[in-house]
Structure 1
Amino acid sequence: MKTPTARVDRLLSSLGYGSRTEMARMAKAGGIVLDGADLTDVSKRIALSPDLPSRMEIDGEPLDPLPGLVMMMHKPLGMTCSHKEDGALVFDLLPGRWRRRDPAISTVGRLDKQTTGLLLLTDDGALLHRIISPKRHVAKVYRATLARPLEGGEAALFASGELVLEGEDKPLSPAILEVITPTEATLTVTEGRYHQVRRMFAAVGNHVEALHRERVGALTLPDDLPPGEWRLLTPDQVALIFA
């Protein structure tokens, strides 16, 4: 498969570095380096090879990741998965110019403001839809801390495929509840309905006091990724989402 190419000014503008005019000025000032040499002609087309970020520098720093990036973030408490809402946003945790990238970086589904844990972000629209598609049955594992002890029948009900949430008429797909303590459990779901986990426990008369997503597919949030931090995923790690 042939490696795609792009004009330098168009590439850098799409990555949020500035306008094409600004990129031309930066190049003339020696701010763009490719393979150790100043690149002064921003109309030049270059190959968008995977190693380009390690070969190109912008103002002395390595080039940002090319389009097609996928990252995991440890979403902190109190942040919103939105570009537009008021208050603290998960996108505030990324470099400022990344808010100007085209295609834009989006969250893969959402975690509500009071939910923490593994959040995926990407600028690859096709991948995003593959992950969230109900046909893929990608499992999401949540750890829930509950206000009241479990009564014992919740696991069978959640696994039955017969639970209907309030305000809906279609039963939920079977989900797996694993009890850790009387007031703590993990719940594995393969759907992404609005506030699904919280509403499932509400349906059995309980209340979720804390909710944390631990895993998506076979991709687990690592212990060494603290809240508010993120890292890019390799192709092998992305493949784990569908494993």
Structure 2
Amino acid sequence: MRLVKLLANLGYGSRKEMQLAIRNGWVTDKAGNALKVDSRVDHEDLLFDDEPLDPAQGVVLLMNKPLGYTCSTKDQGRLVYDLLPDRFRMRKPVLSTIGRLDKETSGALLFTDDGTFLHKVISPKSNVPKIYDVVLDRPLKGDEAGIFASGEMMLESEEKPLKPALLDIVDETHARLTLHEGRYHQVRRMFASVGNHVNELKRSAIGGLGLDCVEEGSWQVLSDARKAQIFN
């Protein structure tokens, strides 16, 4: 791919702006040599304004999403994209979230510009579990685990029962719930169906991928080994 197109696709600016940046010597190799429009340099050896280039196409990011942020590029208020560099919104292909977390849910959120990888994660065939830590308004009654695991639980206004879900009780108002599907506000609606209310909700893991070393509001680029943990 030509250097100008590569930089534009990474969101650094328009092709015209990138031509100007190259002419001004802002794009160099690691040795500090200014490049030309037709230069051929490996992605990892490129610098823009003395900084390494953003990850190439096929990137997967893991964010520890804080409360109060919406998984959208256009809604009003604070958006998860506000926590990323501005140019990430301009990447081509688009950097999309893999699934969503509502405004009042925190925790593990994936982004990618790799459509094949996105569909692999959300495909029912992959059966990737999502694990949620839940703080409840009232003490658990004791029968919730059996109800959630039955495969017969119905949510209001739906006609298909939920897949079996695993509930691990931490104490009377704290639990960990593992789901293999992602219906609208599913965790909150499940507990509402058994007469309780979710006060706090955090997604702590996607498959075998947890939030190790990712502080709230921050993100990291996943290595191949970390991506593989999703499917473990």
Query: Per the shorter chain, which TM-score range?
Result: over 0.9
| 1:12 corresponds to which of 7, 11, 18 | 7
Is 1:129 aligned with 2:119?
A: yes
- Of 28, 34, 37, 1:33 maps to 28
CA drift of 1:43 comes to 3.4
Aligned residue in 2 for 1:156: 146
The one-letter amino acid of 1:14's match is: N
3-state SS of 1:209 partner = strand
1:235 matched residue in structure 2: 224
C-alpha distance in 2 between matches for 1:203 and 1:31: 58
How far does residue 240 in structure 1 lie from its aligned partner after superposition? 0.6
Tell me by how many angstroms 1:18 deviates: 1.1
Contact 2:29 2:41 in 1 (8 A): no
Give the letter for the 1:188 counterpart.
Answer: T
Q: Which of 197, 200, 217 is the equivalent residue of 2:187? A: 197
Q: Structure 1: 5+ residue runs without aligned partners?
A: 1-5
Once residues 79 and 231 of structure 2 are traced to their aligned partners in structure 1, the CA distance between those partners, rounded to angstroms, is 27
What is the CA deviation profile of residues 173-205 of structure 1, one whole-angstrom value per residue up to 9, with x for unaligned ones?
100000001011000000011111111101101
Cα distance in 2, alignment partners of residues 151 and 35 from structure 1: 62
Is the CA contact 1:148–1:183 (under 8 Å) kept in the aligned structure 2? yes
Q: Which stretches of structure 1, 4 residues or longer, exceed 3 Å deviation after superposition?
A: 43-47
- The secondary structure found in structure 2 opposite 1:38 is coil
Q: Return the letter of the residue paired with 1:242.
A: F
TM-score (ref. length: structure 2): 0.97
State the match for 2:59 in structure 1. Answer: 69
Does 1:226 pair with 2:221? no
1:101 maps onto 2:96 in alignment: no
Shift of the alpha carbon at 1:208?
0.4
Helix, strand or coil for the counterpart of 1:238?
helix
TM-score, length-normalised on structure 1? 0.92
Q: For the residues of structure 1 that align with 2:28 and 2:38, how far apart are their CA atoms?
A: 14
The secondary structure found in structure 2 opposite 1:24 is: helix
CA-CA distance at 1:226 after TM superposition? 1.7
Unmatched 5+ stretches in structure 2: none
SS in 2 for 1:104: coil
Could you tell me how far apart the structure 1 residues matched to 2:119 and 2:73 are?
18
Partners of 2:165 and 2:179 within 8 A in 1 = yes
State the shift of 1:135 in Å.
Answer: 2.2
Query: Are the counterparts in 1 of residues 59 and 114 from structure 2 also a CA contact under 8 Å?
Result: yes
Over the aligned positions, Cα root-mean-square deviation in angstroms equals 1.1
Partner of 1:144: 134
* Count of residues in correspondence between the two structures: 231
1:213 equivalenced with 2:200 (yes/no) = no
Q: Which amino acid aligns with 1:39?
A: L
Q: Percent identity?
A: 52
Residue matched to 2:68? 78
Indicate the SS of the match to 1:68.
coil
Tell whether the 8 Å contact from 1:7 to 1:46 is kept in structure 2 after alignment: no
Partner of 1:3: none
Q: Is the 8 A contact 1:177 1:185 kept in 2?
A: yes
